[in-house]
Structure 1
Amino acid sequence: MPEQGRESEADLISIAQQQALRWVGLTAASDTGMDRFARLVSRVLRVPMAFVSLVEADRQILPGIFGLTEPWAGRRALPLSHSLCRYVIASGQPLVVPDARADQRLSTHPAVTDLGITAYAGMPLTDADGLVLGSLCAIDHQPRTWGPGELSDLEDLAAACSAELRLRILSAQNRSAQQVLETARAAAEEARSDAQRLEQQAQAGLDHAELLLRASEELAQTSGLEDVRRRVRDLFVGAGKPSYVGLLVADKDELHRVPDPDIERSVEREVLTLSVDAAFPSTQAMRERRAVFVPDREALVAGYSPEAVGFFDRMGFTTVLCLPLWGSRALLGVLAICWAKRHEVGVTERATLTAASGYIAQAVERALYLDERISVARQLQAAMLTDLPLTDGVEINALYQPAADDHMIGGDWYDAYYLPRAPASDGQSSLMVTVGDITGHDMHAATIMGQVRSMLRQATLDHPPYSPATALTALDAACSVLPVETSGTLVHARLDPVDGSPDWKLTWSNAGHPPPLLRTPDGHVAQLVEHDVLLHRSLGPFDRTEHQRPLRPGSTLLLYTDGLVERRDHDMDAAIAQLIALLARHGDRPLDELLGRINNRLAQPAPEDDVVLLAVRTPVVARL
């Protein structure tokens, strides 16, 4: 590479970046969290080598590595001459190379010749101010065309790794702020006896330091915009405490107000959305990307619209300070700090409020990211639920209620499908139904659930005459051989019409699942308690058993998962008894109404576990 194309060490790493790296506290030594990110990159992108790279003034340190060979793995550091990460630092953009050997810039680069790097993808790792500190790298020893999905996954992992770096910086700054706070408290105590004026100044400084400390502590664990809004309301204390703090989030050319979830202000909800062109102080702060201060009503009337004046009059505000909330990549919104009485905002107070708005911006950015992930998780969960088959006789309905922890998707599922009709048969087809629960409440559990559901369908359809026990036995055998970490319970059942009769026949096999319930038309409910052991690949394959019951016309079969009847500090047998009573009393109602009543009575408003209900009712009238 030409000498003029190489950045000098002084140009590559700024003073601000060096300071941020010191706050991070990582060195050329193994770090558990960073090693985990390297392993995740290797696992998700299926690459033989990955590492977390941070660039110092004179070297590249590798606190997280996977697949790097000696002697580099032991040193956990590379000279800058061997660093591809430095190009990510210099540009602030991802570096994606399908084949470094065919790249004129990199074909003779020491990283290619000495480390065996052929394909390279590196995403920037940034601090809260957007400074690039290093990169999260995926490396292959063979040429590779990086797909959009792989780069998106790597970008998501880099965002998570950046968030971890920011939290470490925040923690270090928090400790520093604590020392500053303790010093300020000591100084305030000494100054208290000297003069009232010095006491007031010290108290103000203490309030400002405490605000920053509270902001760093209170906002570090927020989980959503409502949570951020609630904590922001209670964040400001002291003599200059504002009467109202508003949070507005940017969305394209609009600002959306986040209402207080606990305090009802009808006036606040009158103006929930503002166009960026509206003549409000908050929209001016968004348009001009700067703090906007309105000292009194006269300034508000002179500079803003009648709508803004009317809104602030109804809210009872006199002084307003609007601060832009900057995220790592863009403007996230505006913080509106309002006082009922005229309030002078000095240089020190404004600096403190601006610093506090930085913590709030980090919390808002994290909340928006989590909300997006929740939406993706819920869409995935909905996509994995089975569409129930259309029927002309048998009634079937299902209900799924997710756990209260919205960002987790579960392993509970239901399934229903008709079996192939016998060639000589002109009657109704047999129906397979399944309800299961794979252990766990995360993406891994949902993935295993999807695999198990598909494998069970295949096992059933590959073994006429479609015995539930045979299918479960085949599933056990497959899971004991394949690398599928199966653990959970399920009920697999078949409903068959009886030739020449309005009756049906139920055949089922239970792998450690809560007992299905069968309601006869006269209202009697029986538990189908027969069961085998749960699903677990370590238990090995064995012959599953199955059982049969006749079904009279109008019989109702109810399958459910343990989230309906099992929770901490409650007796599961008592919950099942309550479920039996509900089914006996309301079992003749339409199935959707029946499932809704059961779920409303038994499931908690915010359940700790997913809840699945599946009900099947045989035709009341005789089949033609």
Structure 2
Amino acid sequence: MQEQGREPEVTSLNARQRAVHRAGLTAASDTGMDRFARLVSRMLHVPVAFVSLVEEDRQILPGLIGLAEPWAGRRALPLSHSLCRHVVASGRPLVVSDPRADERFATHPAVADLGVAAYAGMPLADAEGLVLGSLCAIDHQPRAWGPGELSDLEDLAAACSAELCLRILSAQSRSAQQVLETARGAAEHARRDARRLEQEAQAGLGHAELLLRASEELAQTSGLDDVRRRLRDLFGGVGKPSYVGLLVAGKDDLRWVPDPDGARAVERELLTLPPDAAFLPSTQALRQRRTVFVADRAAMVAAYGTQAADLLDRMGSTTMLCLPLWGSRALMGVLAICWDERHQVGVTERATLTAASGYIAQAVERALYLDERISVARELQAAMLTDLPLTDHVEMSALYQPAADGHMIGGDWYDAHHLPRASASDGETPALMVTVGDITGHDMHAATIMGQVRSMLRQATLDHPPYSPATALTALDAACSVLPMETSGTLVHARLDPVDGSLDWTLTWSNAGHPPPLLRTPDGRVTQLLEHDILLHRSLGPFTRTEHRRALPPGSTLLLYADGLVERRGHDMDAAVAQLIALLARHGHRSLDELLRRINNRLADPAPEDDVVLLAVRTPASGRPQRR
């Protein structure tokens, strides 16, 4: 009775040994299997991962990452240290959050010798469903495996199983070829079988490669345009589609995401679709939350009418497959895949495309989240820019152009405000404070520090009559050296005062390492105000700032700017400053709005790498003398 009970187990073991042998895998490193181990480690963020195949008296590890010696060098573990054999025995996944708290594995040698504190293993099977081993993720700390992590591990196990099947099929194909050479009577039949097997192998390999490419390529996307761009080259190999379109679900519509490098006319003309529109497969896939397949033009006319068929013709397509894109919480949109010739989508191909659509949905969900954060950050940054104060005494204008890269939320700013009058006299002309600064960094943190520094500088100015720029900067330095703020950057802080009984003004400024301001006098001469102190940095500690003074004749123009205007990769900054001086000298007589537009159009990139900030102030050239 015992021998009869063991016979199926022995038969299964022999079949498993033969399958592993055909796959060409031993206790040695295999490039393809190592790649799967790396993908598991990267996607599940685990230190140890391996492809385990169970033999009679050991488990071999043709793919691994992170396993300690001597096991890593041996590429094998005794069955006493194997959790994977439980996966093979049951044919089901094994997920353990903490083996030490599980009575089945509390004393298991893998816990003490291999440092297994959390384990997740998915079965690896051949084409007949025989479980050969498992794809394993191991952590050195107990962890609760999330549904998304287990889903990713299951997808990778399916791709790894496909790779094993392909190798076994290839070995079988080679074996069949040897038989063909000796069996002349069955040569033609065997050749047809070999071609069929090869086609199946190529298709299976293409499907596995598609899933691997999707997991790798789409994991690094940063926005919808990036996702759309990568979709263009994601699908390849046997059965490559002629067009792949992405539609994102909004609150009340379904919106095409045009290819940023060359959108088709259809994507532009039908930019948005009402989700209840019944004339397109894409809206039906969204509305009914299921995959929709249209085999050819006749099927399109029968199901959706001639309008949809004409649209298919304009796209140059014959067959269309629309798959819903499911995010973690909601339906994100629809993936539209088209072939220019009639294409039969088999069960395996449909399953592969559905799995790939899961990766695409994750990328779309992540991109929408990032785009929303960037939009909010841009709105916050714009809200923190100062509205220039109204004045009848001087002309002012400012220009702000954000960096082209939506992720670069900068710390550049400008500011202008009047100082309190010394008395309540109606005819008194108030002094004016102006500032341009640049906090180091291109992220939300830099924008936040910028807002704090701007407010602190205003407070420091107004709290220290007679409102010296140097005194205010010294107070700001002192505060930043004490407060827990990672303050680093440059700025120019300046004060403009009318001179009693004349049209002259006086400029007093203090420069913390910022590009020198430019002063244009009415005769067209432009001077760089080169005097400056060290930059603003909390590690430099309190620093006594210096200030400098210059008389401004009537009609003088003061220009402050940030380095994004003149500093570009691969360009000479000194040459850009010289060009800026020439532009100010030539066009400084124009209105300040027009002057700043001309400067920005000539010097700034259409898609600048950094924020561009300009602030200009012009003193009156005529009128009644100033009264203080």
Task: Identify the TM-score tier after normalising by the shorter chain.
Answer: 0.7 to 0.9
Task: Name the structure 2 match of 1:336.
Answer: 336
TM-aligned CA distance change 1:228 to 1:460, over 3 Å = same
Partner of 1:609: 610
Distance 1:168 1:566 in 2: 48
CA deviation map 1:21-64 (0-9, x unaligned): 99736599xxxxxxxxxxxxxxxxxxxxxxxxx99377899xxx
Distance apart, 1:455 and its partner CA:
1.3
CA distance in 2, matches of 1:250, 1:567: 39
Q: Check 1:477–1:23 CA distance in 2 against 1; reply closer, same or farther (3 A cut).
A: closer
**Aligned residue for 2:260?**
261
Give 1:518's aligned residue: 519
Tell me the CA shift for residue 452 of structure 1.
Answer: 1.4
> Does the 8 Å CA contact 2:169/2:197 hold for their aligned counterparts?
no
Report the AA paired with residue 407 of structure 1: H
Distance change in 2, residues 1:175/1:432 (3 Å): farther
Alignment correspondent of 2:345: 345
Change (3 A) 1:394 1:178: farther
The 2-side partners of 1:60 and 1:617 are apart by 76
Report matched runs for 1:348-359 at 5 Å: 348-359=348-359
Q: 1:424 to 1:258 in 2, by over 3 A?
A: closer
Structure 1 residues 289 and 412, CA gap change in structure 2 (3 angstroms): same
SS of alignment partner, residue 307 of structure 2? helix
Match of 2:128 in 1: none
Aligned pairs (5 A) from 1:540-559: 540-559=541-560
Structure showing greater Rg: 2
Q: Are 1:553 and 1:622, in contact at CA under 8 Å, matched by a contact in 2?
A: no
**Which of 173, 179, 182 is the aligned partner of 1:191?**
173
Contact 1:223 1:370 in 2 (8 A): yes
- Asked if 2 retains the 8 angstrom alpha-carbon contact of 1:188 and 1:203, the reply is no
**Counterpart of 2:3?**
none
Say whether residues 1:364 and 2:364 are aligned partners: yes
Letter in 2 for 1:551: L
Q: CA deviation at 1:333?
A: 0.5
Render the CA deviation track for 1:56-95: whole Å, top value 9, x for unaligned.
377899xxxxxxxxxxxxx9999xxxxxxxxxxxxxxxxx
CA shift in 2, pair 1:167/1:523, >3 Å = farther
Letter in 1 for 2:540: L
- Using the TM superposition, give the Cα deviation of residue 605 of structure 1 relative to its aligned residue in structure 2, in angstroms: 2.7
- Number of residue equivalences: 485
Rounded Cα–Cα distance in structure 2 between residues aligned with 1:76 and 1:309:
58
Contact 2:504–2:551 (CA<8 Å) still a contact in 1? yes
Q: Is the 8 A contact 1:295 1:343 kept in 2?
A: yes
> What is the match of residue 391 of structure 1?
391
Q: 1:490 to 1:56 in 2, by over 3 A?
A: same
Q: Which moved more, 1:330-339 or 1:598-607?
A: 598-607
How far off its partner does 1:314 sit? 2.0
Q: Deviations over 1:196-239 (max 9, x none)?
A: 22211111111111111221122111111111111112111123
Offset of 1:305 from its aligned partner? 3.5
- Corresponding residue of 1:56: 97
Aligned mates of 1:55, 1:391 — CA distance in 2:
71
The 5 Å alignment of 1:123-522 reads 177=159, 180-181=162-163, 184=166, 187-188=169-170, 191=173, 195-279=194-278, 280-423=280-423, 425=425, 426-522=427-523
Match in the other structure for 1:83: none
Q: CA deviation at 1:176?
A: 7.8
- 1:302, distance to aligned residue in structure 2 (A): 1.3
After superposition, the C-alpha distances for 1:550-587 in whole angstroms (9 at most, x for unaligned) are 11222110111112222333322222111111111111
> Which moved further from structure 2: 423-432 or 490-499?
423-432
Which residue identity does 2:173 align to in structure 1?
A
Distance 1:167 1:591, change over 3 A: farther
SS of structure 1 residue aligned to 2:219? coil
Q: 1:589, 1:167 → 2: CA distance?
A: 62
The separation in 1 between residues aligned to 2:460 and 2:505, in whole angstroms, is: 23
Counterpart Cα distance in 1 of 2:260 and 2:42? 39
The whole-number CA distance in structure 2 between the counterparts of 1:56 and 1:361 is 28
Question: Cα gap change, 1:390/1:209 in structure 2, threshold over 3 Å: closer, same or farther?
Answer: same
CA distance 1:169–1:521, shift in 2 (3 Å): farther
Asked whether the equivalents of residues 155 and 355 of structure 2 are also in contact (C-alpha less than 8 Å), the reply is no
Which ranges in structure 1 are unaligned for 5 or more consecutive residues? 1-19, 29-53, 62-74, 79-132, 136-161
AA partner of residue 556 (structure 2): S
Look up the match of 1:40: none
Residues 586 and 180 (structure 1 numbering): CA distance in 2 closer, same or farther, change over 3 Å? farther
Contact 2:97 2:117 in 1 (8 A): no
Q: CA deviation at 1:244?
A: 1.2
Look up the equivalent residue of 2:97 and give its one-letter code: E
CA pair 342-438 structure 1, distance change in 2 beyond 3 A: same
2:228 is paired with a residue whose SS is helix
State the TM-score, normalized to the length of structure 1: 0.72
Tell me, yes or no, if structure 1 residue 24 matches structure 2 residue 44.
yes
Deviation (angstroms), 1:278: 1.1
Q: CA deviation at 1:169?
A: 7.6
The 1-side partners of 2:507 and 2:414 are apart by 17
Mark the CA change 1:250 to 1:26 in structure 2 (over 3 Å): closer, same or farther.
same
CA distance in 1, matches of 2:292, 2:158: 30
**CA positional deviation for 1:288:** 1.1
Q: Structure 1 CA distance, aligned partners of 2:316 and 2:566?
A: 50
Rounded Cα–Cα distance in structure 1 between residues aligned with 2:547 and 2:154? 61
Contact map agreement 2:562 2:614 (CA 8 A) in 1: yes
Q: CA deviation at 1:182?
A: 7.5
Native 8 Å contact 1:178 1:213 kept in 2: no
Counterpart AA for 1:468: P
Structure 1 residues 606 and 298: alpha-carbon distance in aligned structure 2, compared to 1, 3 A threshold: same
Give 3-state SS (helix, strand or coil) of 2:436's partner.
strand
Q: Which moved more, 1:582-591 or 1:326-335?
A: 582-591
Whichever residue aligns with residue 561 of structure 1, its letter is A
* Aligned-partner Cα distance in 2 for 1:571–1:168: 53
Partner secondary structure for residue 596 of structure 2: helix
Determine if contact 2:162/2:204 at 8 Å carries over to the other structure: no
Unpaired runs of 5+ residues, structure 2, are 1-39, 49-94, 103-114, 119-142, 178-190
Report the identity percentage.
75
Shift of 1:181: 4.1
Residues 470 and 289 of structure 1: CA distance in aligned 2, closer, same or farther (over 3 Å): same
**Secondary structure of the residue that 2:220 maps to in structure 1?**
coil
- 1:140-198 deviation line (CA, Å, top 9, x unaligned): xxxxxxxxxxxxxxxxxxxxxx8xx9689859966984685486368448637562222
Shift of 1:467: 1.0
Which residue does the alignment assign to 2:577? Answer: 576
**Per-residue deviation, 1:502:** 1.0
| Secondary structure of the corresponding residue to residue 441 of structure 2 | coil
Distance 2:226 2:327 in 1: 18
Is residue 489–residue 512 contact of structure 1 (8 Å, CA) maintained in 2?
yes
RMSD: 3.1
SS in 2 for 1:570: coil
Name the amino acid aligned to 2:307: E
State the partner residue of 1:597: 598
